[in-house]
Amino acid sequence: MLQKLYIQNYVLIDEVTIQFSHQLNIITGETGAGKSVLMGALNLILGERADTAVLINPEKKCVIEGVFLTENNQVVSAFLKENELDIEASLLIRREIAPNGKSRAFINDTPVSLQQLKTLGNLLVDLHQQFDTLDLAKADFQRQVIDALAQQNVPVKKYQSVYKAWKSALQELASLQQQKADFEKEADYNQFLLDELTMLQLAPNELENLDQELKLLSNSEGIKATLTNIVYPLIENEQPIVQQLKQMLQQLQAYHSMHPEIPAIIERLNAAHIELKDIATEIDHINQHILFDAERIAEIEERLAAGYKLLKKHNVQTTEALISIHQQLCEQLEKVLVIDDTIEQLIIKAASLKQEATELANAISAERKKQIQPFEQKVNRLLHQVGMPNARMKVNIEAIALLEYGIDNIEFLFDANQTNRFEPVKKVASGGELSRLMLCIKSLIAQYIDLPTLIFDEIDTGISGEAAKQVGQIMKNLSANRQIICITHQPQMAGKADAHFFVYKENIHNTTKTNIRLLSMEERVMAIAQMLGGEKPGAAALETAKEMMHL
């Protein structure tokens, strides 16, 4: 509910704060006093566009603030969470318009876009102004009304769960059927690729290892010559280096104890002798196992050529990549073998879900249809009470294919003058008729739907007397569980108020300003009496005003 509205430097309003009741708030005042200014200010915090023309003082910014109590409102909480905004029991919405025309919007002191503000505003306030495109004209709202009366919210949610599962199964089925078509289109080529890779039977890292082996075999003669040239002076010529080192050790050994540094030299020479002897042995071993093998070279070159050809074909660089492709081709071809079974299972699943969804939709539709005639009768009776004796509403329900909310296309039709030409509500031009029609409908569904704050501007157009009294009574009943704010000229409606606000103009320093105040009980009696009998009401008007207020 809207707890407080603060307006500063807006049109004719210098500064005003309004504390609203949580039930029925009535706003009255002379024509031109500025009641529409309040609606304009409220529209700003609900996301409407603005310009600097609204600034009463062009050197100061305009500020509009609304404090809403949203505790336990799950829809609002979900919006705040989705937009990463602070979730609090009290929600502050602020709109600022700077003298340079720049507009800013805030939710709980966090800057937001105008679209975010508008989306949140639609969750907080249901504003009915003449010639507005009302929710009443929207198919979703019309369906929600019938579902609320038929108490089908839970069945509809169950149906939606099955419906979504059915649609998901259909999507999966279509995807698999497309995969099958793609597989079949490419099956022969994929089998050819697989056969090529299977025939080659590559081992892990095989091409890399073969490449290394080929380099060795291709350079075997040069490697053997080099190794021979190294090992020969070490151990095979007339005076091998290894033998010379041994002789040096023997000669130096005789002087082992005669110089303190000689033992270290002996130790190092001995290590060098052992290391060179070991190196010579390893070189000789390597040399003996390196053989030039023309047949092996040809075999390797042939296998590498086949491997390189596949690397190029598949645009990869390693043996592992070819092995991975081989595995993928195997899996794809295996899928072709099992995809028919999966498709058959999905066809059965989808058919079962469709059957279940159809049964649920039929049950929901039957409950909806039960509510049509009683709903029409109740609305038409209320329309008569609120001053529209010739108006009738009719609900048209047509069967359609399964959709998100069932098999019913629900449309509200309206005939304002007993012409028997019922037309969609969205084509009805009269804003006052639409507002009263919406009031009648929402009074019937208030206990079933969590409605936001309802604001009616000029709902009393074209009515008076008993009709105005009935409109006021409907609002009074509706306000027991929902906050209502209504701008009216009718004393019958003002008499039902839980909080009565009076809008007036005053002249301050030769400047006309709009102000608003909450009337006391005595002031209410006088205001309603003036609405009945003019500026100076008589005793009869005062008594009638008290009767209207049930005093």
Compute φ and ψ for 121, nearest 5 degrees. Answer: -60, -40
Q: Enter the tokens of residue 115.
A: 């679209």
Given a cut of 80, is residue 311 above it in pLDDT?
A: yes
SS3 for 205?
coil
Residue located via tokens 């007339």 = 238
Average pLDDT, stretch 104-127?
88
Instruction: List Cα–Cα distances, 159 to 146, 153, 162, in angstroms.
Output: 16, 10, 5
To 10 degrees, the CA torsion angle through 153, 154, 155, 159?
90
- What does pTM read for this prediction? 0.64
pLDDT one-digit tens code per residue, 44-65: 888 888 777 788 888 889 999 9
Instruction: List Cα–Cα distances, 549 to 275, 283, 472, 526, 543, in angstroms.
Output: 119, 119, 11, 11, 10
Domains detected in the chain? 1-131+452-519 (3.40.50.300), 177-338 (no CATH)
pLDDT one-digit tens code per residue, 262-274: 889 888 988 988 8
Give the separation between CA 291 and CA 43, rounded to whole angstroms.
Answer: 95
Given a cut of 80, is residue 207 above it in pLDDT?
A: yes
Give the separation between CA 295 and CA 301, rounded to whole angstroms.
Answer: 10
- Segment (H or E) for 115: helix 114-124
**Least confident interval from 41-50, 244-253, 342-351, 424-433:** 424-433
Decide: 35 and 27 in contact? Cβ < 8 Å: yes
Q: Give the type of residue at 53.
A: A
Average pLDDT, stretch 209-231?
82
Given a cut of 80, is residue 122 above it in pLDDT?
A: yes
SS3 for 152?
coil
Closest CA to 236 of 283, 289, 292: 283
Across the beta sheet with 103-107, the strand order is 13-19, 2-10, 62-69, 90-97, 103-107, 110-112
Q: Enter the tokens of residue 90.
A: 């009290």
